[in-house]
Copies of this chain bind each other. A is one copy, B any other.
Amino acid sequence: MDFSTQLNAFIAQTDQALDKYLPPATTRPARLHEAMRYSLQAGGKRLRPVLVLSAAQLFTGKKHDPLTAAVAIECVHTYSLIHDDLPCMDNDDLRRGRPTAHKQFDEATALLAGDALLTYAFDLLARHYPAEPGFALMRELADAAGSQRLIGGQMEDLLAEKKADATAGELEFIHLNKTAAMIEAALVMGGLTAQANEIELAGLRQFGRELGLTFQIVDDILDATADSATLGKTAGKDAKAGKTTFVKLHGLEGARLHAHEHTAAALAALTKLPGDTAFLRQLVEIMLVRKH
């Protein structure tokens, strides 16, 4: 199966599972469940679920269905976007061309829908897996989404926006935690559903870290270089906001060099993994040259 066919198959499986595993929109309170579904079904790249599924696919032998883990991590990602869009955070009216949750519903409903999606991720893992691998999946997710990783990265990002002189160390903390943490967790969770051993899990984590850093640096490069039409969102937003970005700190060429280095490190991490890693190799290569 070629890369695009495989990618689209993973996305289609994820979308079906999201619809299947989320409580119906009529579940009481209906407004809350409608808002949860509205935000989850906004589409998007489904990068984290795709990583769960592609990591699980590397392994042969006894496996648990990775789809529930894929849905759980997308619930956490979506909660973080809903809260990030709120007026007290980034105050965004649109996401992927549709009104954000607090615009479509209201702030309170968006806040609670985010809270509910975070909680539901743990609920799903607890209900669909036995204690092994369920407990390890929940531990991985709680750590990656926690105050020293995802939420910590969001907090530092917010603090950094208020000052134009964030340091390279501060920016690295943000990239590693706001972006790479959940990408790492997706790969590790995929491995956990397939009973990967400690060495394999470490390889997945290393690959995820480098993929996450590549992803974020390329994001900064695109914000500085692409036009809004190609990007599908407002370009130049970071520079306009006076925000410290990777490009501002290291220059365009420096940023490109770093992106290539992290890609190379990601590819090196792949060599430690079993199975057919072609899909993950192509994913990181496409990540590097993407235009939007």
Task: Tell whether A155 pairs with B118 under 8 Å between CB atoms, given A111-B89, A123-B143, A135-B131.
Answer: no
- Size of interface on A: residues with Cβ below 8 Å to B: 50
What is the CA–CA distance of A105 and B23 in the complex, to the nearest angstrom? 35
Q: Determine whether A203 belongs to the interface, using a CB cutoff of 8 Å to chain B.
A: no
Report whether A116 and B32 are in contact in the complex, using a CB–CB cutoff of 8 Å: no
Residues 186-235 of A contacting B (Cβ, < 8 Å): none
Chain B residue numbers with a CB within 8 Å of A148 are 23, 27-28
Report whether B138 and A28 are in contact in the complex, using a CB–CB cutoff of 8 Å: no
Report whether B29 and A156 are in contact in the complex, using a CB–CB cutoff of 8 Å: yes
> How many copies of the shown chain assemble into the complex?
2
Residue of B nearest to A27 (CB): B148
Among A114, A120, A135, the one with the most B-chain Cβ atoms within 10 Å of its Cβ is: A135
Report whether A112 and B27 are in contact in the complex, using a CB–CB cutoff of 8 Å: no
What is the CA–CA distance of A143 and B127 in the complex, to the nearest angstrom? 10
Q: Determine whether A106 belongs to the interface, using a CB cutoff of 8 Å to chain B.
A: yes
Q: Determine whether A47 belongs to the interface, using a CB cutoff of 8 Å to chain B.
A: no
What is the CA–CA distance of A211 and B26 in the complex, to the nearest angstrom? 30
Chain B residue numbers with a CB within 8 Å of A114 are 115
Report whether A111 and B83 are in contact in the complex, using a CB–CB cutoff of 8 Å: yes
Q: Determine whether A164 belongs to the interface, using a CB cutoff of 8 Å to chain B.
A: no
Report whether B116 and A146 are in contact in the complex, using a CB–CB cutoff of 8 Å: yes
Between A and B, 23 residue pairs with Cβ closer than 8 Å are: A23-B148, A27-B147, A29-B155, A32-B155, A33-B147, A88-B106, A89-B108, A89-B111, A109-B155, A112-B151, A112-B155, A115-B115, A116-B151, A118-B118, A119-B142, A120-B142, A120-B146, A120-B147, A122-B142, A123-B142, A123-B146, A126-B142, A134-B135
Q: Enumerate the 10 nearest inter-chain pairs by beta-carbon distance, A residue then B residue, closest first.
A: A88-B107, A126-B139, A116-B147, A123-B142, A122-B142, A131-B135, A29-B155, A32-B155, A135-B135, A131-B131
- Given contact pairs A27-B147, A89-B111, A111-B111, enumerate 4 new A-B contacts (beta carbons under 8 Å): A28-B173, A86-B111, A120-B147, A126-B143
